[in-house]
Chain A
Amino acid sequence: MTSAHALPPVIAAHDLTKTYTFHQQRAGLGGALKSLVKRKYETRLAVDRVTFDIERGEVVGLLGPNGAGKTTTLKMLSGLLYKTSGDLEVLGHTPSDRKHDYLRRIALVMGQKTMLWWDVPAMESLLLHKDMYGLSTAEFDRNVAELAELLEVEHLLNVQVRKTSLGERMKLELMAALVHGPEILFLDEPTIGLDVVAKARVRTFLADVNRRRGTTILITSHDMDDIEALCSRVMIIDHGRLQFDGGLDDLVRTAQPRKLVRATYATPVDGARLEGLEGVTAVEVSGQTVKLQADRERAGFVMEQLTRLGPLVDLDVADADVEDIMRDLFLRRSTLGDAS
């Protein structure tokens, strides 16, 4: 999906900040009694001067470890939370005003919260949305038919929601969120708890929705496969600060500037010849297999050297796994955070 750069961004956040105030209470009866008399209040900076724009039709992944501030950001964008300071405009509205014109143009799906009625068929919830969003019968019928086909849930629409599986329920949640045709879809962990088949189905569906309808999607997920499958751009939030904003490729290049190379030979080889090569690190030789990391710009030269080591059977060159990159990134920051 190409961005329409001539148009103003659909989401514009400048120095967006959110602080929470809470009181601490020690465990046990003593702590409880003490807290009755005297409470110690603390302020926590959940989101710290975050600035970004999102263009219409973009699919952006909001990443970060638990407690980093990504869900708080999502909640401010969707109007659930008031910002403490900074500027925030979504579709020309201040989200926390929760104006009708704003709410009818967005949708929020939280993987761990339902907007469907539990005891009645999903169709009842869809009909409720028809009234809530003021959809005409023709528009409603068309949207339901399209979404049900894309999600393959035609047979579930008249089944009590509580009798559906987790994966089926998430599909129905997505359907309820999209039946009014929102311009922006906020997704908080949409594939949490789903099996691999259901996850793949949901990802394909979201990609379809973005392509067909031009829906802007902002997604938080701990599943890097979701991010790789859907997002052209990622924003990494940690300790409330925006640490990275760019393409997934840029993230990989920035966080892991080396290619992972694995060469397999027909006979055991002597890897010592690779030790001194410029731009080569982490050489591991095990019988007929050589593993190493090579600088991107030296990758061609290194591969040429590998072909001279012996009779080559297989050569695999890859970027580091995004999941590993994120783990390293979060661990590094967490350690730095703990140290400071």
Chain B
Amino acid sequence: MSTVARNLRVVRRMTAAEIAQQSVYRGAWIIFMLANICMPIISLLIWRTALSNGAQLPVDERYITTYFVLLGFVTMATSSWMAAFLANDIRLGKLSSWMVRPASLLVGFVANNLSEKFLKLFALVPMIGIVWWIFRDSMNIPAGPGRWALFAVSIVLGAVLVFTIDILIAALAFWMDDVGALVQARVIISSVLSGAVVPLALMPTWSRGFVDHQPFRFTVSFPVEIVAGQLTGRELLAGFGIQLGYVVVLGVIARLVWSAGIRAYSAVGA
């Protein structure tokens, strides 16, 4: 059996077990999802109020509405929370019990991520469905399935990108005693630069060159833009090229840093 096939079987097994474990905490993930969707809804109401009071924005009400209705789903779908946990495992030597087994060291984190997303879908999709129904007349809904397919692909690539960035940050724990500050900095910076707080379309004109090409845009904003915005075919092509480029380049860097880190691993503790 090939390494990939074996790891996929392990991920499948672990994801099933993780779902079984997490299903116990139903209340927790419903509350978590409510929190996840609250911020986009509040932002939506604020921006719609601003527009109705005559605010001059570079985007219209339909864009803003579609953007914030989809934001909660995309943020959940592409998010990763493994950096702090992985860094902790490295620092405290908990990686050891995985290192002596013939599977990727990351399968546990992949399974945890997939299982939580699977469960959250059940809570989040109905909530977004309600919001969607409320604002259905003032949203940009793509007519054909093409945009939705591209939307799905960009979400998968965005999720891989976030996961890769997390591995890269966590791998620094092989050399640094604590990467907590770095993890926190990433959360703050990415929440702004990904478009999770304010649509990147509202960023100052002078910053657009940087904002449109930095990696965090492709973790949240770009997938939402595919549906909400009026991206031309050329812009879509360029966007996917850049997104894929970031996945490949950061993936290679993460792999190199991880390999070097494993050599420095001190496997602390008995």
Residues of chain A touching chain B, judged by Cβ–Cβ distance below 8 Å, are 20, 71, 75, 78-82, 96, 98, 100, 103-104, 106-108, 110-115, 117, 119-120, 124, 127-129, 131-134, 188-189
Contact = CB atoms under 8 A, between A and B. Distances in A.
B270 A131 contact: no
B13 A127 contact: yes
Contact of A103 (B93, B100, B265, B269): B100
B234 interface: no
Between B94, B97, B100, B101, the greatest number of chain A beta carbons within 10 A of the residue's beta carbon is seen for B100
Given A81-B267, A189-B270, A98 B99 contact: yes
B245 to A, nearest CB: 30
Contacts of A134: 1, 6
A303 B14 CA distance: 66
Most buried by B among A78, A81, A127, A129: A81
Contacts of A110: 96-97, 270
A132 B7 CA distance: 7
Interface size for chain B: under 10, 10 to 19, 20 to 34, or 35 or more residues? 20 to 34
B101 A132 contact: yes
Contacts of A98: 99
A216 to B, nearest CB: 15
State the main secondary structure of chain B at its contact with A: helix
- Of B20, B24, B103, B267, the most chain A CB neighbours within 10 A belong to B267
B14 A128 contact: yes
Interface in B205-240: none
A124 B17 contact: yes
B101 A115 contact: yes
A81 B263 CA distance: 7
Which of A20, A71, A111, A117 counts the most B-chain CB atoms under 10 A from its CB? Answer: A117
Which 4 residue pairs are nearest across A and B when measured between Cβ atoms?
A: A103-B102, A115-B97, A108-B100, A131-B9
B270 A71 contact: yes
Interface in B16-37: 17, 20-21, 24
A42 to B, nearest CB: 14
B262 to A, nearest CB: 8
Given A103-B101, A103-B102, A114-B97, A80 B267 contact: yes
